[in-house]
Amino acid sequence: MSDQIQETIQKVKKESAIPAVSTVLPDGSLAEMVYRSEENRTLFCVSKAGELRYESNLLVSGQRLVPFSPRNNLLTNEVVLFPSEAAEYESEQALVEEIRAFIHRYVDVSPLFQQIASYYVLFTWVYDAFNELPYLRLRGDTGSGKTRFLLTAGSLCYKPIFASGASTVSPLFRILDEFRGTLIIDEGDFRFSDEKAEIVKILNNGNGRGFPVLRSESVRGREFSPRAYSVFGPKLVATRGYFQDRALESRCLTEETGARKLREDIPINLTAEYKREALELRTSCLCFVF
């Protein structure tokens, strides 16, 4: 009988838990989700007054928050990336230099844009402290290194969401609203896309706080109900041409690619070492947030 009671209690707890990736606790502590793939485990890393602790769940205003499951499809397929812990770093300037060196090692962009990208990576980790933000955009032809830049710089950003494989725009609204991370879009030329209006709404509304996108959705297959999705957040975009929307064009810090021959020391393939280095930098960036 006691075993049945325990199973019932655990089932109720599981059903009442709310998945979350980050939150601010009533005492001012910051909590961010971490993902340890080798352990097949997710936790909350909680920071207060310089002290860190790791929790499997959090009680906030009477609600029990839990991190997303380590078996979540978006995590196992590396659609969204997380740090594994918060690791100390030498100084902010040293961290910026490590990020710059990582980008330089794997992709060829101008020194100015390399520096801008290094600071933008750190900016993504604290973007919610701002009301407006720009996007990073690379514009150039095929083979000029746009995708490599998105993979390299994007893997260091705050909760990067690699969304280029989305067959429709619909999942992007939900992922952005749930994870509140950095949206990364390759081949962002939407001129002939049926989804042009919706994807441009995400990009046009996403650079300022307080401008959610409204969508009408069916409730249990019956009536339609309006739903607001938050799309505010940093974004990395690669395109071959210019955006038709001049307002969207003005939101981008753009690097023109393909004007010169790529450096010969750039690795052709991204190896496991690249992923390890990126994970280490994400752990330092998480400590930077705290």
pLDDT one-digit tens code per residue, 137-162: 999 988 888 999 999 999 999 999 99
Quick one: 263 and 135 in the same domain?
A: yes
pLDDT for 46:
97
Range with the poorest average pLDDT among 1-10, 68-77, 199-208, 250-259: 1-10
pTM score over 0.85: yes
Rounded mean pLDDT of 100-117?
96
Quick one: 191 and 263 in the same domain?
A: yes
Asked which of 35, 70, 105 is the last residue of a domain, the reply is: 70
Quick one: 117 and 155 in the same domain?
A: yes
State the pLDDT confidence band at 7, using cuts at 50, 70 and 90: low
Given a cut of 50, is residue 195 above it in pLDDT?
Answer: no
Q: Is residue 51 part of a domain?
A: yes
Residue 8's domain comprises 2-70
More confident of the two residues 50 and 155: 155
> Within 13 Å of residue 126, how many CA atoms lie on the same side as its CB?
10
Rounded mean pLDDT of 5-22?
65
Report the distance separating Cα 31 and Cα 263, nearest Å: 41
Quick one: 21 and 110 in the same domain?
A: no
Quick one: 47 and 178 in the same domain?
A: no
In the sheet that 51-55 helps form, which strands lie side by side, from edge to edge?
22-24, 30-36, 41-48, 51-55
Quick one: 105 and 234 in the same domain?
A: yes
Distances (CA, A) of 250 to 51, 147, 154, 162: 41, 22, 21, 23
Report the distance separating Cα 52 and Cα 236, nearest Å: 30
Quick one: 284 and 142 in the same domain?
A: yes
Reading the block at residue 76, the tokens are 């196992």
Q: Which residue has the tokens 């994970």?
A: 279
Quick one: 8 and 143 in the same domain?
A: no
Given a cut of 70, is residue 217 above it in pLDDT?
Answer: yes
Quick one: 149 and 49 in the same domain?
A: no
Domain count, the chain: 2
Quick one: 166 and 208 in the same domain?
A: yes
